[in-house]
Structure 1
Amino acid sequence: MLKKIILILTLFLITVGSIYAQKEQYNWYFGFNARLSWNSTRTLTGTGVYGTANATLTGLPLQFPGSAMQTYEGCFSTSDADGNILFYSDGITIWNRNNQQMVTGLSGDPSSAQSGIILPYPETPGKYIAVTLGKDNSNNLSYTVVDMSLNGGLGGTVPATTNVALTGQSGALGESVFAVRHTNKEDFWIVAPGRTTTTSYLNVWKVTSAGVQTTRYSVATVSIGFTSLGANGYLKFTTDGLHYVWADFLSGRLVYGDFNPTAGTITNVKIRNTYPLFPSNPNRAYGVEFSPSGKYLYLTQAPGSLNTNQVSGLVVYDFAALLATSNPNSINPVKTITNPVSLADGVTDHFGGIQLGPDGRMYISRFSSTGMFVITNPESPTAMNIYKLLNFLPGNGYWGLPNFAAPWFRMELTPPANAESCANVSATFQLSIIPGMGLSNVSRIVIDFGDGGTTTYNSPLSSLYSFPHTYNKPGIYTITITAYNATGGVEISTSSTMTINSCAMRVNPQVSVRAGT
């Protein structure tokens, strides 16, 4: 009899997971008690609209009950790097992760399009800056510091840092505010439009490790005036922080141009009248968002009232064409959708705010509804796949979606699909590059596997790479991903460990094969 003693050791254990996950935008709180989270996902049937066929959609965020907030428009939230919610706000009240009031009486307003935004306090882990702004021409841009070490880790406000006014602005501030990270990766810029009856302005403030510089840092003039300083639309920046768009709700114009995140200055200011979807009332530009690459600009336009004589709409522009032209009004949309108000399922089919999700899809609020719209391919607007998601929320959405600061780019490494691989066996890895600030500076990305092997990708970079690597010996290895700029400086470097065990087959040398056994 042939006798063998076979020992198979535990196989290939990888502990990398997702490197540099940056899940600060994984939890959305908005509307009347609506909450979505990308920490858990689900599969649903999307009802195709405007020529899109029905489809099964995977990886959609899971709904969670429990939000204490009720807001028609302004809202913002932040999570930690692992995607755990820290706090959220409508601009007046901040609630902690247990849905308890942390502070109230802030300068924002639930009827402000962007009632605020949250920044990490530069070089001070565990502290955050909540910037808040009221509606119409309230002119009350302020900040409040939140310290997450207070109240047993639930967070609290720092004394003497509640509703501290930002000053020196030109024009009356109201409803529109955004924040962009400085190229030094630590500081931030706060940007808010100011309006008068003759001229408008884009005001900029700086935030450093010393705190918010409450005196305005820079300003750009916009040659449009306003007969009314009432409702306003969204201000957004491209993910690289180099360009911006401000949609003014009442005048029906887009203001856009260039931003220098190193100098904190706005240049190349241009103006385009919004596309006339509504012959009886052609204004009402409201939500704006960029595709992940920044190539396309999405604009939602809202009617003045919700009745059967009005429509809302979605307009998509080639943003590079808008930037390049000397006559912005000559650039027509690459895609236009008009959305008649209907009561087919008991609610109005009405576009509200539009926001890019952590999954690269675009989500659009559906007024007074537990449903939403989702665009699954925002980089292909002429072949747009847009779906209605019914009963998607635990509460009702209205106009607004959460306001998030422009993120730094990130790199995520996905381990081999077959985790039970062995030393001396080729395994396939995937590197995802998610656009954001700093990516335009990257000339190459180097993956060091910790065993002397490396893989390099040079600019221009793709969003996804799939590549093999073989570890020849069991052991614990540190894998490091480093993004370098053209001068050899490091933009981002991140690492994690992986443990590789062997798959060994051992045979007892004393056992032999004999005839007849």
Structure 2
Amino acid sequence: MTWMKKNLAVALFMVILGSPLLSLSQNRCSYVTPRQTDNWYFFQNAGIKFTDGSVNANNLPGNNLTSGNGTATFSDENGNLLIYSDGMKVWNSNHNEINFGPNLAGDAGATQAALIVQRPTLNQILYIFTTDLLLPAPLGTDGFNYAKVDMTANNGAGAVLERQNHLLDQSSVMLTGVANAAQNGYWVVTHGAGNNAFYAFEVTAAGVNTDAVISNVGAVLDTDYSKSELIGAMKISPKGDKIAYASMGKQHI
């Protein structure tokens, strides 16, 4: 990613337990790597495929991602590619665009532009969560949103059924997820803009719960685009007991 290549200080902020979000997931089972993450697509038509312990770089033909930063890829339980997205458009395993209309509400320039989550007990339904850069007026932002994909639609080629389902008016472009404590769903987490809030949205068999669990802790991330504090990356530990983010604009740890 471009921001990672720059010789800039980043802030690494870690939360260890203690927040409403993390207390819900800290007792989850040991992590087992799923085949849903076997394929990784990047921009400039690059990719990595993980298969039975081997790693093949640049071995994913047909990649439509040509420029930008953040991408998301999702495969089935056997490691077969299903869809990939740059937060704006969505392609299936045949590398055909399946959004059939307006773009999703993300921004390909965001460092973590998209995250794809499968709906529990209804595997053909995938949710794509997207972040959007908070740009100076009059451009603004589309905020934090999600789209719904049905892989059985369009004669099995897949189609975006819903798009731009609004969750937050504005947020950082940091986005991550983890299985919940009951192992029957997922938490999707982003950081707020102009505050110190982590927003966690749960995905279960019922769909996306649009009422977030909000945890206020740590530094406030400024909304001034020139400070770049909303740009960065975030990750939750596999056990769900730690969360960390790196902000491009912060100068402390």
**Fold equivalence (TM over 0.5):** yes
Aligned equivalents of 2:43 and 2:223: distance in 1? 30
Q: Deviations over 1:47-73 (max 9, x none)?
A: xxxxxxxxxxxx332423310112321
Aligned equivalents of 1:121 and 1:227: distance in 2? 32
> How has the CA–CA distance of structure 1 residues 40 and 151 changed in structure 2, closer, same or farther, with 3 Å as cutoff?
farther
TM-score by length of 2: 0.76
2:55 to 57, 60, 75: 60
Aligned equivalents of 1:21 and 1:181: distance in 2? 12
1:38 to 50, 59, 67: 50
Number of aligned residue pairs: 211
Aligned equivalents of 1:105 and 1:21: distance in 2? 31
Aligned equivalents of 1:180 and 1:139: distance in 2? 24
CA RMSD of aligned residues (A): 2.2
SS at match of 1:177: strand
Aligned equivalents of 1:39 and 1:222: distance in 2? 39
The residue identity in structure 1 corresponding to 2:104 is L
Residues 328-339 of structure 1: pairs in structure 2 closer than 5 A: none
Aligned to 1:154: 157
The alpha-carbon deviation at position 227 of structure 1 amounts to 6.9
Q: Note if 1:242 corresponds to 2:241.
A: yes
223-232 or 147-156, which moves further after superposition? 223-232
Aligned equivalents of 1:227 and 1:204: distance in 2? 20
Counterpart contact for 2:62–2:95, Cα < 8 Å: yes
1:212 to 205, 208, 217: 208
The residue identity in structure 2 corresponding to 1:157 is V
Counterpart contact for 2:71–2:112, Cα < 8 Å: yes
The alpha-carbon deviation at position 139 of structure 1 amounts to 5.4
Aligned equivalents of 1:215 and 1:133: distance in 2? 17
Aligned to 2:14: none
The alpha-carbon deviation at position 223 of structure 1 amounts to 3.6
Counterpart contact for 2:72–2:115, Cα < 8 Å: yes
1:176 to 152, 174, 179: 174
> How has the CA–CA distance of structure 1 residues 123 and 248 changed in structure 2, closer, same or farther, with 3 Å as cutoff?
same
Counterpart contact for 1:136–1:232, Cα < 8 Å: no
The residue identity in structure 2 corresponding to 1:152 is N
Aligned to 2:199: 203
Residues 95-494 of structure 1: pairs in structure 2 closer than 5 A: 95-103=91-99, 105-136=103-134, 138=141, 140-158=143-161, 161-167=162-168, 172-196=170-194, 199-226=195-222, 228-229=224-225, 230=228, 232-253=231-252, 272=253
Aligned equivalents of 1:209 and 1:136: distance in 2? 32
Counterpart contact for 2:48–2:55, Cα < 8 Å: no
> How has the CA–CA distance of structure 1 residues 21 and 242 changed in structure 2, closer, same or farther, with 3 Å as cutoff?
closer
> How has the CA–CA distance of structure 1 residues 21 and 152 changed in structure 2, closer, same or farther, with 3 Å as cutoff?
farther
The alpha-carbon deviation at position 28 of structure 1 amounts to 0.8
The residue identity in structure 2 corresponding to 1:190 is V
The residue identity in structure 2 corresponding to 1:213 is N
Aligned equivalents of 1:157 and 1:91: distance in 2? 13
Gaps of 5+ in 2: 1-31, 136-140
185-194 or 84-93, which moves further after superposition? 185-194
Structure with more contact order per residue of length (Cα contacts < 8 Å, sep ≥ 6): 2
Aligned equivalents of 2:104 and 2:123: distance in 1? 23
Q: Note if 1:81 corresponds to 2:77.
A: yes
Aligned equivalents of 2:154 and 2:38: distance in 1? 24
SS at match of 2:217: strand
Aligned to 1:26: 38
Counterpart contact for 1:202–1:219, Cα < 8 Å: yes
The residue identity in structure 2 corresponding to 1:240 is K
Q: Deviations over 1:253-290 (max 9, x none)?
A: 4xxxxxxxxxxxxxxxxxx2xxxxxxxxxxxxxxxxxx
SS at match of 1:24: helix
Counterpart contact for 2:145–2:166, Cα < 8 Å: yes
Q: Deviations over 1:149-173 (max 9, x none)?
A: 1122221122xx2110114x7xx40
Aligned equivalents of 2:121 and 2:238: distance in 1? 22
Q: Deviations over 1:429-461 (max 9, x none)?
A: xxxxxxxxxxxxxxxxxxxxxxxxxxxxxxxxx
Aligned equivalents of 2:51 and 2:201: distance in 1? 33
The residue identity in structure 1 corresponding to 2:48 is L
> How has the CA–CA distance of structure 1 residues 228 and 39 changed in structure 2, closer, same or farther, with 3 Å as cutoff?
same
Identity %: 24
Counterpart contact for 1:21–1:81, Cα < 8 Å: no
The alpha-carbon deviation at position 225 of structure 1 amounts to 4.7
Counterpart contact for 2:105–2:163, Cα < 8 Å: no
Q: Deviations over 1:389-435 (max 9, x none)?
A: xxxxxxxxxxxxxxxxxxxxxxxxxxxxxxxxxxxxxxxxxxxxxxx
Aligned equivalents of 2:202 and 2:69: distance in 1? 26
Aligned equivalents of 2:66 and 2:212: distance in 1? 32
TM-score by length of 1: 0.39
Query: Which of the pair has more CA radius of gyration?
Result: 1
Q: Deviations over 1:479-500 (max 9, x none)?
A: xxxxxxxxxxxxxxxxxxxxxx
The alpha-carbon deviation at position 95 of structure 1 amounts to 0.4
Aligned equivalents of 1:227 and 1:99: distance in 2? 36
